[in-house]
Structure 1
Amino acid sequence: MTYKYTLDKTSKKFSCPACAKKTFVRYIEVETSKYLESSIGRCDRESKCAYHKSPNGNKPITYNVIQKMEVTSYHDDTVIGSYGRNYRANNFVQYLRQYFCTTDIEAVVRKYFIGTSTYWKGATIFWQVDHEMNVRAGKVMLYDSNSGKRVKKPFNHINWMHKVLHLNDFVLQQCLFGIHNLCDYAEGSTVCIVESEKTAIIMTLLYPEYLWLATGSKTNLKSSVIKPLKDCKIIVYPDKTEYKDWNTKVEAFQKNGYTIICSKFIEGLNVSEGADLADVMN
């Protein structure tokens, strides 16, 4: 269903009226693509700011013609191999070398199709390959090779490979990061879901007996991405302060027949807001 107004889907961000950070996404009018008033929008800092002002009168648009349904786009199968090298120049992989042996790192790189990008020097590509082995997306992220933290200054270093490769009209429909590995696990296996791709990799290195997957964002825990896991036992591990939101979703999944629970492990620890399993295990 298409509404009269929607949040801008481009990467453009503005200064938030509440926190003044450049993390504010404004609403646009769908038919004209024009921005609404500068105060109408949502701050991406959902936990620390949570400013969200919706436009008035946002009703569905009724068309007299059948609208074209968007079909999920996929990258060419060869794209992963094209970026599967030069790990000495991959900041995230170099960070892992401080704590794990080379053999284990090489194994997890192969298992999750971790790539290296020159879009930013030292950048990592986390490919999203679905349970049918379709390459749905590639998320480009930059980490500090010493601390393992994401580089957020002077801007948040995140992009998508379809934008890097200038693939016009690419329809992004995400899946869980790592879900292509589902075929290697028996029916009824325990699957653990975290938010961060980095955390899924580190937890795989620490606890390889479980299949670790990542949503890639706090809002991407939804029915469309967990559907392939209907026959699995699922444990989700929300970041600190996100338990209430994820548990609400988990309760809805339980009503739809999923064997799923939401862990309170992080929520019960005296750690900073946004901390996750990788932070605790460090």
Structure 2
Amino acid sequence: MNYKYTLDKSSKKHQCPSCGKKTLVRYINVETNSYINDNSGRCDRESKCQYHKSPKGNEPLVNCNTSFVQQLPSSHNELILGVYGRNYTNNNFISYLLKYFVPVDVKHAIKKYFIGTSNHWYGSTIFWQVDEQMNICAGKVMLYDKITGKRVKRPYPHINWMHKVLKTPNFVLQQCLFGLHNLCDYDNSNTICIVESEKTAIIMSILFPHCLWLATGSKANLKEELLKPIKDYNIVVFPDKTEFRDWNTKVKALEKEGFLISCSNLLENRDLEDGSDLVDVFLTSL
């Protein structure tokens, strides 16, 4: 269903009227491709701000003379993994991993998750989303601080998509769980653990390799559409600190659809900052 107003799909962000950060995605009029002149939009700080104002009168666009054709999802050429699977000395995330783990374990993680390096920002990392059929659905570019391992968010959040970096025309993005391509190496006796952050999935896979660690990439991506390929597995999700209620509600809905899934409250009763995840618990003990 197409609507008159939709969230801007470009990477441009605006100042949020609630938190003041430059993280607001504004609504555009799809007929004129122009921004709406009000505070309508959604803040990307899903947990800390939660600002979301929908425009009034957002009616479905109906055209009796138009036949709707579902767009097929795009994918990157398989050669792209090799093109960007190098130059790890200039990859801040890899430098951070080497502070805690021996090189052989880091090298194994690089191969297992197809970790890439981008020069879009010096030192940035590519997290490729490859599905169970080895389709390269997407590549998320992120910049980390090589010392703290935290995302670089100033002067703006350093996050982008490879199809935008490469200016691939007419790319239809359809995400999958990060790490899903590893499903072939596990059977139904293995537990699948799901976290939000790609960084966390990689680190936890080094610490606890007997489980398959996947990442949603965002809080909102814990949904049936993305979890369908792992429906026959035992699944445990580990929400970030303060996100248990939201993910547990989704888990209960997934249980009704036949998923064998549970939501861990491991982080909720620990003395951690809001937004902390498993890495903040386990890396501090190394």
Shorter chain as denominator, the TM-score bin is over 0.9
Instruction: Please name the residue that 1:205 is paired with.
Output: 206
SS at match of 1:140: strand
Report the alpha carbon displacement of residue 79 of structure 1 after superposing the two structures with TM.
0.4
Deviation at 1:58, TM superposition (A): 1.7
Displacement of 1:208: 0.4
Q: Counterpart in 1 of 2:97?
A: 96
Q: Which amino acid aligns with 2:32?
A: T
Partner in structure 2 of residue 170 of structure 1? 171
> The residue matched to 1:169 in structure 2 has which SS?
coil
SS of residue matched to 2:34 = coil
Paired AA for residue 278 in structure 2: L
Confirm or deny: 8 A CA contact 1:41 1:54 kept in the other structure.
Answer: yes
- 1:141 match: 142
Q: What is residue 225 of structure 1 aligned with on the other side?
A: 226
Give structure 1 stretches of 5+ with no counterpart. Answer: none
**C-alpha separation between the residues in 1 aligned to 2:21 and 2:204?**
32
Query: In 2, distance between residues paired with 1:30 and 1:86?
Result: 41
Offset at residue 48 of structure 1 (A):
1.6
The match for 2:38 is: 38
Deviates more, 1:174-183 or 1:10-19: 10-19
- 1:189 alignment partner in structure 2: 190
Look up the match of 1:22: 22
- Deviation, structure 1 residue 26: 1.3
Q: Any gaps of 5 or more consecutive residues in structure 2?
A: none
- How big is the shift at 1:257? 0.2
CA contact (8 A) 1:91 1:143 kept: yes
- 2:116 and 2:24 mapped to 1: Cα distance? 30
- Deviations 1:229-257, CA, capped at 9 Å, x for gaps: 01100001111111111111111110000
In 2, Cα distance between equivalents of 1:210 and 1:153: 34
Distance 2:136 2:54 in 1: 34
Q: Deviations over 1:35-58 (max 9, x none)?
A: 113311121122222222111222
Amino acid in structure 1 at the alignment position of 2:177 = L
Q: Is the 8 A contact 1:74 1:136 kept in 2?
A: yes
Distance 1:273 1:169 in 2: 38
Residues 26, 38 of structure 1: 8 Å contact kept? no
Task: Return the alpha-carbon distance in structure 1 between the equivalents of residues 40 and 200 of structure 2.
Answer: 34
Deviation at 1:171, TM superposition (A): 0.6
- Cα deviations by residue, 1:58-109 (Å, 9 ceiling, x for unpaired): 2222221212211100000110011111111111111111110111111111
Q: 1:54: which partner in 2?
A: 54
Moved more, 261-270 or 192-201: 261-270
Q: 1-side partners of 2:165 and 2:8: how far apart?
A: 19
Report the number of matched residues. 282
In structure 2, what is the Cα distance between the partners aligned to 1:59 and 1:189? 46
Distance 1:18 1:117 in 2: 33
Q: Provide the residue aligned with 1:159 in structure 2.
A: 160
Q: Comparing 244-253 with 32-41, which one deviates more in the overlay?
A: 32-41
**Superimposed CA distance per residue, residues 136-193 of structure 1 (whole angstroms, 9 cap, x where no aligned partner):** 1111111111111111111111111111111011011000000000000012421000
Q: Identical aligned pairs, as a percentage? A: 60
Shift of 1:265: 0.7
Most deviating of 2-11 and 174-183: 2-11
Question: In the aligned structure 2, how far is the partner of 1:60 from the partner of 1:251?
Answer: 31
> Which residue type is aligned with residue 15 of structure 2?
S
Amino acid paired to 1:5: Y
Q: Which amino acid aligns with 1:223?
A: E
- CA distance, structure 2, for counterparts of residue 122 and residue 168 of structure 1: 26
Q: CA RMSD in A?
A: 1.1
Give the counterpart letter for 2:143 in structure 1: L
